[in-house]
Chains A and B, each alone.
Chain A
Amino acid sequence: MAFLFSRNRQKGNMDLVKGTKELVLKCLAEEKPQPKTEEELARNLAQMKLVLQEQEVSPDQVLQLIQLLLQEDLLLSLANTIHKLPFESRKDTQVIIATALRFKTNSSTADEPFALNTIISQRPQLIVTLCNGYDRRESAMPCGGVLREALKYDAVAALILYDEPSAGGPPNLSRELNTSAPAKGDGVFWKFFDWIDKSAFEVSADAFNTFREILTRHKQLIATFLEVNFDLFFQKYNRILVQSDSYVTKRQSIKLLGEILLDRANYNIMTAYVASGEHLKIIMKLLLDERKMINYEGFHVFKVFVANPNKTVSVQRMLINNRERLLKFLPGFLSDRKEDDQFMDEKSFLVRQIENLPPQPVPT
């Protein structure tokens, strides 16, 4: 009896995946999906989600379903259709993809769970498609949710960072990754700047969270990437994010900038960043912004310039030229932050540093 039941379930899984695949393709082909297609698809997806959530009860069932999903390439189709699905189905789809990518088997030897591993080696396009979910409000959050979970694995971050449409899309990670070639700037990673800057609040905020995850999670990977693509990255970062018209984008990106610079793994990036007078100029303007949290976040970048023991001539000159102004300005700067001892300490330290600047720039 039991084995009959189990055979039924297996057959059920097969039908479920095949049926869903057909419906998804139909949905993709139609301009506006018919209500009947939608309804049926929603039902299928809800059921698929239920099966996947039965992990403890019947791991074999789950494994089988995931294998079928991979075999039929349904995950990519789902990611492509997500914005056309009804409200609840979008969330179901998120759960399906995320659960599939997360599912671990005992036998797997790879770093990543087996489905994610398969995706990375054979269907890296899925990751890029998920990023492109930020193009639409409907798909942004479900795709973002899956992405951030998958970004726990550095391979996923590498796929996003080194995606080069002109060179055939995301890299094949089974081969050696060429990290020394500079990016052209049209890969999916670079689209995050616009998603963050131009989207509606929810989309922008979600995209920023993913962006932050990419930039902070895998230290070594990102340090290498930023070193190679320093100019392109900071040119975009400064222009689009730090000087954004959106208060939230501006504030969050200044904060993230501080985090990136002060990360130990990014030491070389920090020294290159604070060598530039142009950068200092942008940051000093933040200190004069009329919004105090912008001032505050800006201060935490500014302090890196001032504390740098090997200031470049251009940075020195800018600080020296503004010495009097800075000395007049800093004591009253955010003076209501009295309870923030670290801030007060750092502020008075900066004052001392600026007082002690040589009369003229000294080359180091």
Chain B
Amino acid sequence: MADNYQVLEELGSGSFGVVYKGIEKSTGDLVAIKHIDLEGSDDDIQEIQQEISLLSTCKSPFVTQYKTSFVKGVKLWIVMEYLGGGSCLDLLKPGPFSEAHIAIVCRELLLGLDYLHQTGKIHRDIKAANVLLSQTGRVKIADFGVAAQLTNIKSQRMTFVGTPYWMAPEVIQEAGYDFKADIWSLGITAMEMANGEPPHANTHPMKILFHIPKAPAPRLEGSHFSKEFKDFIASCLIKDPDRRCTAKELLRHRFISRAGKVESLRELIERRQLFDASEEKADHPKYYEETMQDISPRTEQEEWIFDTVKPTTIAPPPRHTSKRQKLARIPSGGEDSPETLIQRLNLNDAPLGCASPGPYRDTVRRTPAKDRRRSSANTAIHTPSGAAAIRIPSGMTPTARRVSGQAKQPLGVDMSFGNGNSTVRRFRRVSAEQTPNSTMVSEGIAVADMQPPPTNMLPDTRDENSPPLTAGTPGVSKEVLLGRRTYSKVVDNAFQETYAQTANQAKREALARVAHAWSALDRIDPEGEFLLLKAIVEKAQSDAKLSVALGLSTPAPPATPSPVKQQRRESLAPVPGPISTPTRTPAQSRRNSSFAPSEQSTPTSSPTKQSKLVLAQNNPHLKSHHRRRQSAIVGNGGPVGGLEGGREYGYGGVDERKLPGYVRPGMEHTGMLADVLYSRWMDGLRGRWGM
């Protein structure tokens, strides 16, 4: 299957993978291909399948056309039609649309929504970023990442998904909603196209969540807008979903019925191209590269010994013959600890040393939700101008996505919950130590020219049972673990990247030899490996010239904030206090290893067990953090404890795990502010809806 596609340059990378432009060889058509690394995530396969099955049952000129999908190696390829015009959000960069243009886009969107709604689908994330244009101006709805298929046309949904600014009040209140939610989002999108941003774009996304249900519906203001347009917006933005119009009804609205031809939307595309040209930003297309061979084979573990297959080469001689004798000699109760120990661990018992009743490894997590709402810093964002049929980063706005995962059952059957998917909320045990989360799909690096969003973390409220900082796993020294980590997170990736960037064959070979040697070192002496790296870094630091060149000039602070945060924070604004060297999360490095741009990953592993940077409440910096973060929020999807299964969360109330900007465990220290805000918000909710 993959042979039928020639993969060209990268269009962008989204929360779920990288999108490439490609050519379908059998037809010569241009396509957008999304590559999803299935190894990169704990448990997304079912969720992704859901998206695909939804896409594949759509066939409409107003919806991006799904072509096929298949698995190659550990990557899932999703092939979609290619839309060269870009997203409406891209096209908004030069400035707001004219009313005539908006009317056309809205009409096409309504036709698309009407199609979806008729077939029992709710998109749930309509916004300019998810509206794509073809080169000829045709308008298509894209990104079905959070869309829902209703089995029964009359049924309702409860799940809290979408993007805050565009969310309908009933979605936020979780009182059950249906197709009408999309109409609200369409109204907000129309305002976005008219004003360049959705209403309340400067409000904190968390705050907006309780603002929307409470405040009167937004209205389009300004004398330069026509009465019809204002009325159209007002018909979309009716807070009572029962009184809100359907897509069909809105298609008969005067504002829509007098809309012009889609061809005139080409003006928007041309405008954008002119705008890009005037910006004179050089594009650096990143080309697809086949994942290269592993230059450093991972720890070579010889095969197991299965005495039937490989009779005793290295294994202790099997004593089949002496078995009988043994049997006779051993008194029935004579077994020592293993048996008794295991007896205690009856398979029906609660799992290992775990006091909580439901110690499931919860894999529900939310994908990174990003925000690029205009803060003063990002007036001139440059994004890849191409647009894919699938989510691309240029249009990143936080999308609360429910990613489900079946919880892994712990050793033994957990009787306390019965079997099956309990909807009771469980607590997850989390380490206090901060580990760059390998399952996190990060987007920051691949689109380096994008404005790196500032962080604003929400507290992990499930963290109450996380132990205090602990020593490493008993039995293995800390250095050994750090060494292993150094290798897997830093050295290996660095080698792979450098290897990928090296063209000369001889140089490549030399590099591969070093990598191989290093892997041998890792195998034999991880402790030494760590010490070696430490020494290298220290030596480099002590040399003034080198340390400047490597970006080590400011000494690393004793309290290293997590890599992700650092990186984002640095690019955001000079942070008072120490700045440490940029490090990458493994997910980033891995994701980019094959097409990494020139940026450098400085091989400093961030030791995991350092104390965290916690701002005291009265810290003077907190206020500036506050201000800086106020305008934007970034949710790093991390593995978030939650419910198993892809089902709707039935219990009442707002579940913070579903909220955008939810923070992965270990990152909570970044959001002292969010802490305050969040608890206030929760209190507000409790009061308002009587939770």
A33 at the interface (CB under 8 A from B): no
Residue pairs across A and B with CB atoms within 8 Å: the count is 211
Closest chain A residue to B55 by CB distance?
A202
* A349 interface neighbour in B316, B327, B352, Cβ under 8 Å: B352
Which residues of chain B are within 8 angstroms of A272 by Cβ–Cβ distance?
A: none
Assess whether A339 is in contact with B303, with CB atoms less than 8 Å apart.
no
B361 at the interface (CB under 8 A from A): yes
A331 at the interface (CB under 8 A from B): yes
User: A201-B69, A308-B347, A345-B352 given as contacts; is B475 within 8 A of A358 (CB)?
Assistant: no
Which residues of chain B are within 8 angstroms of A247 by Cβ–Cβ distance?
A: 38, 71, 73-74
Assess whether B342 is in contact with A262, with CB atoms less than 8 Å apart.
no
Residue-wise, chain B 104-118 has the 8 Å CB interface mask toward A (1 for contact) of 000000000000000
B573 to chain A: closest CB distance in Å? 29
Assess whether B410 is in contact with A346, with CB atoms less than 8 Å apart.
yes
Closest chain A residue to B149 by CB distance?
A145
B315 at the interface (CB under 8 A from A): yes
Residue-wise, chain B 33-67 has the 8 Å CB interface mask toward A (1 for contact) of 00000110010011001001100110100000000
Residue-wise, chain B 72-103 has the 8 Å CB interface mask toward A (1 for contact) of 01101000000000000000000000000000
Residue-wise, chain A 130-169 has the 8 Å CB interface mask toward B (1 for contact) of 0000000000010001000100000000000000000000
- Which secondary structure characterizes the binding site on chain A? helix
* B323 interface neighbour in A102, A252, A353, A360, Cβ under 8 Å: A360
Closest chain A residue to B346 by CB distance?
A309
A55 at the interface (CB under 8 A from B): yes
A109 at the interface (CB under 8 A from B): no
B294 to chain A: closest CB distance in Å? 8
Closest chain A residue to B476 by CB distance?
A331
From 97 to 136 in chain A, residues with beta carbon under 8 angstroms from any chain B beta carbon are 98-99, 102
Assess whether A309 is in contact with B154, with CB atoms less than 8 Å apart.
no
Assess whether A358 is in contact with B335, with CB atoms less than 8 Å apart.
yes
Whole-angstrom distance between the alpha carbons of A304 and B412 in the complex? 8
Binding stretch for chain B, among A9-17, A70-78, A229-237, A289-297: A289-297
A317 at the interface (CB under 8 A from B): yes
- Which secondary structure characterizes the binding site on chain B? loop
A78 to chain B: closest CB distance in Å? 17
B339 at the interface (CB under 8 A from A): yes
* B435 interface neighbour in A248, A291, A339, Cβ under 8 Å: A339
Assess whether B57 is in contact with A91, with CB atoms less than 8 Å apart.
yes
Assess whether B151 is in contact with A349, with CB atoms less than 8 Å apart.
no
Whole-angstrom distance between the alpha carbons of A219 and B330 in the complex? 40
Assess whether B411 is in contact with A303, with CB atoms less than 8 Å apart.
yes
User: A335-B484, A336-B485, A343-B361 given as contacts; is B151 within 8 A of A145 (CB)?
Assistant: yes
A8 at the interface (CB under 8 A from B): no
B73 to chain A: closest CB distance in Å? 7
* B338 interface neighbour in A248, A284, A300, A353, Cβ under 8 Å: A353
* B352 interface neighbour in A265, A309, A346, Cβ under 8 Å: A346
A341 at the interface (CB under 8 A from B): yes
Assess whether A353 is in contact with B665, with CB atoms less than 8 Å apart.
no
Central interface residue in B45, B304, B307, B413, by most chain A CB within 10 Å: B304
Whole-angstrom distance between the alpha carbons of A53 and B408 in the complex? 39
A289 to chain B: closest CB distance in Å? 11
Assess whether A284 is in contact with B52, with CB atoms less than 8 Å apart.
no
Assess whether B315 is in contact with A321, with CB atoms less than 8 Å apart.
yes
A316 to chain B: closest CB distance in Å? 10
Assess whether A345 is in contact with B353, with CB atoms less than 8 Å apart.
yes
Which residues of chain A are within 8 angstroms of B336 by Cβ–Cβ distance?
A: 356
Which residues of chain B are within 8 angstroms of A325 by Cβ–Cβ distance?
A: 301-302, 304-305
Closest chain A residue to B322 by CB distance?
A360
A239 at the interface (CB under 8 A from B): no
* B354 interface neighbour in A53, A277, A339, A342, Cβ under 8 Å: A342
Tally of chain B residues near chain A (CB < 8 A): 94
Which residues of chain A are within 8 angstroms of B68 by Cβ–Cβ distance?
A: 200
Assess whether A219 is in contact with B419, with CB atoms less than 8 Å apart.
yes
Which residues of chain B are within 8 angstroms of A102 by Cβ–Cβ distance?
A: 152
Closest chain B residue to A319 by CB distance?
B304
Assess whether B151 is in contact with A98, with CB atoms less than 8 Å apart.
yes
Central interface residue in A87, A308, A343, A348, by most chain B CB within 10 Å: A348
From 311 to 364 in chain A, residues with beta carbon under 8 angstroms from any chain B beta carbon are 313, 317-318, 320-322, 324-325, 329, 331-332, 335-336, 338-346, 348-349, 351-353, 356-358, 360-363
Whole-angstrom distance between the alpha carbons of A247 and B484 in the complex? 27
Known: A88-B59, A145-B151. 5 other contacts (CB 8 A): A259-B409, A285-B304, A308-B342, A339-B435, A345-B352
Closest chain B residue to A348 by CB distance?
B473
Assess whether B666 is in contact with A141, with CB atoms less than 8 Å apart.
no
Which residues of chain B are within 8 angstroms of A53 by Cβ–Cβ distance?
A: 153-154
Residue-wise, chain B 436-479 has the 8 Å CB interface mask toward A (1 for contact) of 01100000000000000000000000000000000001111000
Whole-angstrom distance between the alpha carbons of A17 and B308 in the complex? 64
Which residues of chain A are within 8 angstroms of B327 by Cβ–Cβ distance?
A: 362-363
A209 to chain B: closest CB distance in Å? 7
B225 at the interface (CB under 8 A from A): no
A255 at the interface (CB under 8 A from B): yes
Which residues of chain B are within 8 angstroms of A141 by Cβ–Cβ distance?
A: 53, 56-57
A-B contacts, 17 listed (Cβ < 8 Å): A87-B59, A88-B119, A209-B46, A255-B406, A262-B413, A288-B301, A292-B39, A307-B345, A307-B412, A321-B318, A336-B435, A336-B488, A338-B433, A342-B354, A346-B352, A362-B330, A363-B323
